[in-house]
Amino acid sequence: MNTTVSSSVGEFIRTQRNAAQVSLRELSRRAGVSNPYLSQVERGLRKPSAEILAQIARGLKISAETLYEQAGILDRRSGTAGTVAALRADEALSERHKAVLLELYETYTREHAAQLAREQAAAPTTTAPTPTPQEETA
């Protein structure tokens, strides 16, 4: 994992923590991770393991998969990052509602991509020659 990924996962954790209105000390307590270590993760100075990411996710009440994606451990789910970020940032939704909406959104985007792939596969691969003006009038 490179510094950019470490930094981005740290920034994401900080953003999620601030959105949840949780102090660094409180998240540290909830996640069972030391306060200094968590601070270093947020600043991109430490590269957290998958286990630590799962503990932090549990403390933030988000899915571990979300942090794994940010850390580059898992491939990003389908859908646009902006839509996913907007759903995650919406303070009017509970974490459970966010998870359900994200799952539905991913399902719909995956189905739409599969439908497009089927349509492209069914489309003829050869193109018919364009008729000349003489052929059109004949």
List the chain pLDDT tens, one digit each, 138 residues: 445 556 788 999 999 999 889 999 999 999 999 999 999 999 999 999 989 999 999 999 888 877 888 888 876 656 676 777 788 788 888 877 887 787 788 778 778 878 888 888 888 765 556 666 665 555
Q: CA angle, 41 as apex, 40 and 42 as ends, to 5°?
A: 90
Cα separation, 8 vs 53, in Å, equals: 13
Cα separation, 93 vs 114, in Å, equals: 29
Cα separation, 39 vs 23, in Å, equals: 11
Cα separation, 60 vs 80, in Å, equals: 22
Do 66 and 81 belong to one domain?
A: no
Residue at 107: amino acid letter? T
Which residue segment(s) compose the domain that 97 sits in?
76-121
User: What's the pTM value of the predicted model, to 2 decimals?
Assistant: 0.55
Tracing tokens 């898992």 back to the chain, one arrives at: 74
Do 67 and 81 belong to one domain?
A: no
Cα separation, 90 vs 93, in Å, equals: 6
Do 44 and 84 belong to one domain?
A: no
Cα separation, 89 vs 98, in Å, equals: 9
CATH of the domain at 23: 1.10.260.40
Q: Helices 35-42 and 24-31 sit at what angle, rounded to 10 degrees?
A: 110
Counting the structural domains of the chain, the total is 2
Do 67 and 80 belong to one domain?
A: no
